[in-house]
């Protein structure tokens, strides 16, 4: 019975609620009907609808504007990105081209250096072979006096064949500029005159600072000291060089300039004697100095001597 009463009360409360709700809905419908029948409310609804439409159109316009702004910003961003990408590609391409250019230049330089090295090696080998052959022929000429190789040995060697002959070299057989001279230095393969540069040395001839006498080295020695030293030097070398044949002239430079100071010119009566002296004396040591012997054309001694 209690359960039945409980269920009955529940149904009754539900029916009351439904009835109350229906009554409320009926009243709201009547009120709405009265509002709709009112001209002022109809004007209000019309104005509200128009305002809502205006708001919707404004919202749509704002949305379209925002979308257009977004598209413009996106376009600008894409353009900026594309510009940056092109610049990076241009820089990368430029760097790649620069690296390629450097690589090619390096390879070309290495190739040229390799070719120059090979050419220089071949030239050195050729010069070494020619010098060896010339040395053999010079030995045969000095030993036998045969004229088979004389014309070949007498051939003139030029330092700059396309340049004008150096006047100083033609006059004295020496030049202050050496191989750097812009003129040509014609040198015979064999002749009657041999030159030994800086053979005779004496403090009176030196311009450099002497280890013992300093800047006053030339003041410490008079003309007699120089003459006595030269006489000893002459007596020492004349016996050596007369072993190869008759010596016609011996000239020793007393100039203080480096390319002439103490240079000794020895002229033999025959080329054979000069060749023998060249073969024997070239490379020998004298007074702790290694001698470098060279052939020279016959000089006009009065013209070569400066007189000072």
pLDDT tens digits for range 17-29? 998 989 888 888 8
| In the predicted structure, residue 135 carries a pLDDT above the cut 90 | no
Phi, psi of 14 (to 5 degrees): -65, -40
Per-residue pLDDT tens for 258-285?
888 889 999 999 888 999 999 899 989 9
User: Bridge partners of 193?
Assistant: 267, 296
% of the chain surpassing 70 pLDDT: 91
Q: What is the pLDDT of residue 45?
A: 80
Question: What's the average model confidence in pLDDT over 116-122?
Answer: 87
Distances (CA, A) of 170 to 258, 261, 306: 18, 18, 14
pLDDT, residue 277, reads 92
pLDDT > 90: what percent of the chain? 33
pLDDT at 212: 58
pLDDT above 90 for 65: yes
List the domains of the chain with CATH numbers: 155-304 (3.30.70.330)
The whole-number average pLDDT for the span 222-249 is: 89
* Average pLDDT estimate for 46-62: 91
Q: What does the mean pLDDT of the chain come to?
A: 85
pTM, to two decimals? 0.58
Residue 86, pLDDT score = 93
Quickly list H helices, the chain: 2-37, 39-144, 150-153, 167-172, 223-242, 271-281, 301-304
Task: Give me the DSSP letters along 95-151.
Answer: HHHHHHHHHHHHHHHHHHHHHHHHHHHHHHHHHHHHHHHHHHHHHHHHHH--STTHH
Q: Residue 128: what pLDDT?
A: 82
Provide mean pLDDT across the span 214-234: 76
**Highest-confidence range of 45-49, 107-111, 219-223, by mean pLDDT?**
107-111
Rounded mean pLDDT, 157-170: 84
């Amino acid at each position: 019975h209690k359960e039945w009463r409980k269920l009955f009360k529940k149904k009754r409360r539900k029916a009351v609620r439904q009835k109350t709700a229906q009554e409320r809905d009926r009243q709201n419908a009547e009120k709405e009907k009265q509002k709709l029948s009112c001209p002022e409310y109809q004007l209000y609804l019309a104005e509200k609808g128009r305002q809502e439409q205006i708001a919707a159109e404004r919202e749509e316009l704002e949305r379209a504007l925002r979308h257009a702004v977004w598209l413009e910003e996106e376009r600008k961003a894409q353009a900026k990105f594309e510009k940056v990408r092109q610049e990076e590609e241009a820089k990368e391409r430029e760097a790649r081209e620069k690296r390629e250019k450097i690589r090619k230049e390096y390879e070309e330089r290495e190739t040229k250096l390799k070719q120059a090295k090979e050419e220089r090696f071949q030239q050195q080998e050729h010069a070494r072979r020619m010098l060896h052959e010339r040395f053999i022929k010079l030995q045969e000429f000095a030993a036998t006096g045969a004229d088979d190789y004389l014309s070949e040995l007498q051939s003139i060697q030029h330092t700059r064949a396309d340049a004008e002959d150096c006047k100083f070299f033609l006059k004295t057989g020496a030049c202050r500029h050496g191989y750097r001279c812009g003129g040509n230095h014609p040198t015979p393969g064999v002749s009657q005159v041999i030159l030994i540069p800086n053979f005779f040395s004496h403090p009176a001839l030196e311009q450099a600072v002497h280890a013992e006498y300093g800047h006053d080295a030339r003041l410490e020695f008079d003309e007699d000291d120089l003459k006595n030293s030269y006489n000893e030097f002459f007596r020492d070398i004349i016996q050596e060089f007369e072993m190869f044949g008759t010596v016609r002239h011996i000239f020793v430079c007393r100039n203080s300039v480096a390319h002439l100071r103490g240079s000794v010119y020895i002229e033999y009566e025959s080329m054979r004697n000069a060749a023998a002296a060249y073969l024997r004396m070239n490379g020998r040591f004298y007074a702790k100095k290694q001698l470098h012997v060279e052939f020279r054309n016959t000089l006009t001694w009065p013209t070569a001597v400066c007189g000072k």
